[in-house]
Structure 1
Amino acid sequence: MTAITSPTPDTAQAPHRTPGGAFNPRQLWSSLPEALRKLDPREMWHNPVMFIVEVGAALTTVLAIAEPFLHGATGSTITFTWWITIWLWLTTLFATLAEAVAEGRGKAQAATLRKTRTTTLANRVVGYDEAADASAQAARTESVASADLRLNDVVVVTAGELIPGDGDIVRGIASVDESAITGESAPVVRESGGDRSAVTGGTRVLSDRIVVKITSKPGETFVDRMIALVEGAARQKTPNEIALNILLASLTIIFVVVVLALGPTAGFAHAAPTVTVLVALLVCLIPTTIGALLSAIGIAGMDRLVQHNVLAMSGRAVEAAGDVNTLLLDKTGTITYGNRQAAEFRALRGIVSARLIETAATASLADPTPEGQSVVALAATLNGDGQNAPARYEVPTGAVVVPFTAQTRMSGLDLPDGTLLRKGAPNAVKAWVEESTPLPAEVAAELDAHVSEIGQAGGTPLAVAIRDVTGGAHLLGVIYLKDVVKTGLAERFADMRRMGIRTVMVTGDNPLTAAAIAREAGVDDFLAEATPEDKLALIKREQEGGKLIAMTGDGTNDAPALAQSDVGVAMNTGTSAAKEAGNMVDLDSDPTKLIDIVTIGKQLLITRGALTTFSIANDVAKYFAIIPAMFVGVFPGLQALNIMRLHSPDSAILSAVIFNAIIIVILIPLALRGVRYRPSTAASLLTRNLLIYGIGGIIAPFIGIKLIDLLVSLIPGF
């Protein structure tokens, strides 16, 4: 008896994560020079809230310097004015520091990417002719620097050489090391004429030879764009971010007017506050916390995608991912593993299962396809009665391999003793059997029944037959191949449903097969026999209903749909057309990452909402600290609001200003990491925000300001 050697199953590898750097105190120190540079008013005016704080800090600085010469004319002690001044400048610095830390993580990644941009020599083909023989082309090359390559130049790259620029393979197939770009150590196969033809400059060819047509201009390569993106240079504010900035600016203007009117109004009650106190009041009234962290939140959202090896071409794309209503997912490679796998052996009546399993496995030993290997793997875990009992097989010496061809639609082995084994399309195998032995009607009917049942379940049937040395042929049974749905996807799609996101599977399969896979995967809908036009039409219909659409793709035929989608995620292994059409590129080429991208987008929006809630709630508590301290001497009734029982008016105001500054630093890690996201409805998210960040935003200042006041009261003069 021949023996089957069970192939080693593929080990699932965790997706590579481009190092983004977790937050740590060292980042504060390394980002300090950039934070100081951002104090330039020409930079600060883009953030109206913090610009007002900086103006206030500059004003109190002037007052503090002038105080000794004015002999108390400012109404505040020099100690109080200097303390307020110092903490106002620190508040401004902490805001720029938050943005600098967020940008610094991207710049560290960009520095790593720059190492891949080396000037190499390229073998440029002289007078390239697509119709000519590839070998003849290689003989007519000239050596040029990669920087001198132009759009549509054609180069020849052989094993061991770096690919000199972005392009598409027009001839050949090769194994390529892309670790410099993706971080993955495992090489990948790139070949001409398909959706895996795109190559990136700076990656290395490990085997064979390829002919590459350059598709990018100097300075506009994929790596150049990656560097610009991760540095944040191309980051534009998103619509929601702009709207929030307008809201913050409006609140700031309102409170500026209120504070300016407060001085004269309080003067009638002989309680006019000093300029320093008014500035402190203004800074504590306006939403400085979210104003300081808003830019960092947006940058960190893109950075979290980079850590997942996804490049977003703009912050708008990240934000759109958070608002997606419909996910379009390709079936093959996204919902299923991409290769059909043997799931069951079905012996015909009168055939022992063990004989079918042995014959099918032996016929598949030399089959290099994933389907063939899965037949061997399944057989290796089953014995004749279906119990787990791994057996070992090996190809007999002298056996002749019969490869699969489009004409025969079968493959198998011819054994040395003259026995012939075949597996393949049922009609082809049935015809092969009938070449030597008439097939009884009942056997043909049983075969047809199995084929029909497997087809209706969305699977693919393979018939198995044997012809012995006497020339007699026998049909043994059917192998059930199925598209295996990836583990855990049904649960993730259920999470999407709870978030109000509709999932649609897009496939070229027939409706029967598509329905079976969709049912098993748990998607909400499917589009079968989909053409590029069908995908585009579906996206437009959804968008006309006011929905935001996300989809993945890797081929040129996906480019129109990727361009039309609100979030178009192109695979790095895909064609240049696909990568140009999408607004995100997945360096790992993992289509299921679309679900992670939506989660990160949701996390960005939730983080911004949570910190906005905290910032506004934060201000409520500061009112209780400053207002009573300012006017309790004139209006004793305000003592009822002084529930913190702070030491003195000056210590209360300074404590509020100090808390206002240090809370920014405390929240920087949260802004960078993001609020933890749990799939739930908008109503439950709002409730959670109000309970945690609303109530928390009110309670934290009461505790923080009181503790700071206890320390401030120890300073002479307070």
Structure 2
Amino acid sequence: VLKSKDAQVSAGTLNTDGSLVIKATGIGANTMLARIIRMVRAAQSSKPAIAKLADQISSVFVPVVVGIAIFAALIWFAVGPEPKASYMLVVTTTVLIIACPCALGLATPLSVTVGVGKAAELGILIKDADALQLASKIDTVVFDKTGTLTQGKPSVQQVFTQDATSQEHLLALAYAAERQSEHPLAKAVCDYAKQHNTDSIELDSFENIRGRGITATYQAQPLFIGSLQFMQTEQIDISPMERAIQDCANKAWTPVAIALNNKLIGLIAITDPIKPDAKQAVSALTSQGIKTVMLTGDNQHVADAIGKELGIDSIMAQVMPDEKAQHIEQLQSQGLTVAMIGDGINDAPALALADLGVAMGSGSDVAIESSQMTILNTSPMAVVHAIELSRATLKNMKQNLFGAFVYNSLGIPIAAGVLYPVFGFLLSPVVAGAAMALSSITVVSNANRLRLFTIK
């Protein structure tokens, strides 16, 4: 991963070339490495629903086995050959040895431990084992656009002006307002203004309207900067710049409109490049029968262009930050199992509400805390890998449980002597002990096969 001046580097990473001067910004317990270690340990010690079911079965398994051993002893004592006491003791001991619930107890925890560890190797941090199991059931994946499907590094492509407004004055107005905002598009405008040595002017007032834009006052005139939808809400006519707006739509640029004294005076066209593997990720999900949805606050034209390029099934544009959770709830009401992928503070409610919340590691701390999985490398393909690994882990758990149940279902009756009346065969306690050990070894070996999981 290339790093430049003022870039953030994580503890535990290696510098493979050149020299660096690094400033420590936190103690060891607060580093990304420490967070990864804590999350992996917590996930490995947690239990998915299927493991809790196995625990419930195990809780009644022991008394049932003891009951079977006593029942077998009584049968052998009542109708068995001489010496009855000797046969009774051998059968009871053999039943108790072969029915040791080791394999049943190891079946799911080992799969969880190996699966969570493998996920960490792939750059996927899992908070709890339930998330690992739930990912296998996902049938709908909802992507936030900015920073998830796109690189989250918007840049200005072109500046359009109207009437006698100069580009310099337009940029000065935009810069004066946007430098007080934390929005990614605001940062793009400010960077562009700085590159062009824009003059600094002062505004008389400032108000950030979340998800829409900025209102301010310049020389006693109202100033509005934001989306086209925001302009229409403020009763500002956008038709004089219809050609520029259409040009932005054709090129999938996001127009930031600037209006002074209730007249549209210009547009700043911004684009955010799509991540190289975003299309591959959407295609992989579609091939697995998973519906893909894109949620964005961007205008419909830009959203449609990006959605069409990526092959996304459903596009929801001009979504306000506080409406994202409502859209997740709406999908869930249709009986869908929804995963939400996002990175911003405004994604946090949707991440928390979704059946599975997945945060990009480059996103805000609030988003990461609201999610059950964190993608460290910010690649959309990691979502596909998480689902594939989840399915492989769940399959491994079921194989282990099936093997443990089959072993006990066959082993206990044989140990109790059901074959003796027909074949004269009675299992030795020594052989029973070896069989019990072999069953545990089989479960451990099968769980470790997950270490061989490879990305398709």
TM-score class normalised by the smaller sequence? 0.5 to 0.7
Tell me if 1:615 matches 2:425.
Answer: no
Which has more helix, going by share of residues? 2
Q: CA 1:625–1:268 in 2, change beyond 3 Å: closer, same or farther?
A: closer
CA contact (8 A) 2:133 2:394 kept: yes
Distance change in 2, residues 1:673/1:269 (3 Å): same
Identity %: 22
Please give the per-residue CA displacement for 1:163-184, whole angstroms capped at 9, x wherever unaligned: xxxxxxxxxx923332x24x36
Instruction: Flag the 1:460–1:554 CA change in 2: closer, same or farther, 3 A.
Output: closer
Counterpart residue identity of residue 175, structure 1? A
For 2:74, which of 227, 245, 264 is the aligned residue? 264
Code of the aligned partner of 1:260: I
Deviations 1:423-475 (A, max 9, x none): xxxxxxxxxxxxxxxxxxxxxxxxx99984773474689xxxxxxxxxxxxxx
Change (3 A) 1:289 1:675: farther
Q: Give yes or no for the alignment of 1:243 onto 2:64.
A: no
Write the distance in 2 (CA, Å) between the matches of 1:495 and 1:571. 19
RMSD across aligned positions (CA): 4.5
Runs of 5+ consecutive residues of structure 1 not aligned to the other structure: 1-12, 15-158, 160-172, 188-203, 342-401, 408-447, 462-480, 640-647, 680-718
Deviation of the 1:241 alpha carbon = 1.6
Report the residue type matching 2:138 in the other structure: V
1:174 paired with 2:13, answer no
Deviations 1:510-548 (A, max 9, x none): 222222322332222122122221211112223344544
Distance in 2 between the 1:219 and 1:460 partners? 41
Kept after mapping to 2: 8 A contact 1:321/1:598: yes
Matched, 1:659 2:435: yes
Partners of 1:176 and 1:340 lie apart in 2 by 19
Matches within 5 A, 1:342-357: none
| d(CA) in 2 for partners of 1:574, 1:499 | 27
Q: CA deviation at 1:242?
A: 0.9
User: How far 1:500 moved relative to its partner?
Assistant: 4.7
1:223-622 correspondence runs (5 A): 224-232=34-42, 235-271=45-81, 273-285=87-99, 288-337=102-151, 403=195, 452=246, 455-456=249-250, 458=252, 483-484=273-274, 486-487=276-277, 489-490=278-279, 492-497=281-286, 499-622=288-411
Q: Deviation at 1:338?
A: 5.2
| Structure exhibiting the larger radius of gyration computed from Cα positions | 1
Pair 1:622–1:602, CA change in 2 (3 A): same
What SS does structure 1 have at the residue aligned with 2:400?
Answer: helix
Question: Which residue pairs with 2:208 in the alignment?
Answer: none
Q: Once the 2 structures are TM-superposed, how far is the Cα of residue 671 of structure 1 from its aligned partner?
A: 1.1
Inter-partner Cα distance in structure 2 for 1:564 and 1:174: 35
Task: Sort the Cα spacing of 1:557 and 1:540 in 2 relative to 1 into closer, same or farther, 3 A.
Answer: same
Name the aligned partner's letter for residue 237 of structure 1: K
Question: Structure 1 residues 256, 310: CA separation in 2 closer, same or farther (over 3 Å shift)?
Answer: same
State the distance in 2 between where 1:576 and 1:339 align. Answer: 19
| Aligned residue type for 2:324 | K
Distance change in 2, residues 1:495/1:654 (3 Å)? farther
Which amino acid letter does the alignment assign opposite residue 393 of structure 2? L
Q: Residues 585 and 456 (structure 1 numbering): CA distance in 2 closer, same or farther, change over 3 Å?
A: same
* C-alpha separation in 1, matches of 2:336 and 2:134: 11
- Matched residue, 1:672: 448
Partner SS state of residue 293, structure 2? strand
Q: What's the offset of the Cα at 1:623?
A: 5.8
Distance 1:456 1:611, change over 3 A: same
SS of residue paired to 1:317:
helix
TM-score, normalising length: structure 1 = 0.42
TM-score for both structures, normalised by structure 2? 0.63
CA separation in 1, counterparts of 2:344 and 2:132?
22
Pairing 1:211-226 to 2, within 5 Å after superposition = 224-226=34-36
Local SS of the residue matching 2:363: coil
1 CA distance for matches of 2:35 and 2:153? 34
Which secondary structure does the structure 2 equivalent of 1:509 belong to? Answer: coil
1:298 deviates by 1.9
Q: For residues 281-335 of structure 1, give each alpha carbon's deviation from its aligned partner in whole angstroms, at most 9, with x where no partner exists.
A: 2443566423223222222222222222333222233233233332221234433
Report if the CA contact (8 A) 2:138-2:337 is conserved.
Answer: yes
Contact 2:254 2:298 in 1 (8 A): no
Tell me, what secondary structure is at the counterpart of 1:254?
A: helix
Q: What CA deviation, in whole Å up to 9, does each residue of 1:39-71 have, x standing for no partner?
A: xxxxxxxxxxxxxxxxxxxxxxxxxxxxxxxxx
SS of residue paired to 1:611: helix
1:335–1:592 contact (8 Å) kept in structure 2: no
1:558-596 deviations in Å (ceiling 9; x for gaps): 222222233323333333322332233333344542222
After superposition, what is the alpha-carbon deviation per residue over 1:86-132, rounded to whole angstroms, capped at 9, x for unaligned? Answer: xxxxxxxxxxxxxxxxxxxxxxxxxxxxxxxxxxxxxxxxxxxxxxx
Higher RCO (CA < 8 A, seq sep 6+):
2
Find the aligned partners of 1:650 and 1:532 in 2 and give their Cα distance.
Answer: 68
- Call closer, same or farther: CA 1:482–1:563 in 2, change over 3 Å: closer
Aligned equivalents of 1:542, 1:460: Cα separation in 2: 27
Structure 1 CA distance for aligned equivalents of residues 133 and 360 of structure 2: 20
| Alpha-carbon distance between aligned partners in 2 of 1:618 and 1:602, rounded to the nearest angstrom | 24
Measured after TM superposition, the shift of residue 557 of structure 1 is 2.0
- Kindly tell me the number of residue pairs found equivalent between the two proteins: 358
Which SS does the other structure have where 2:79 is aligned? coil
Task: Report the 3-state secondary structure (helix = DSSP H, G, I; strand = E; otherwise coil) of the residue aligned with 2:312.
Answer: coil
**In 2, Cα distance between the equivalents of 1:311 and 1:656?**
41
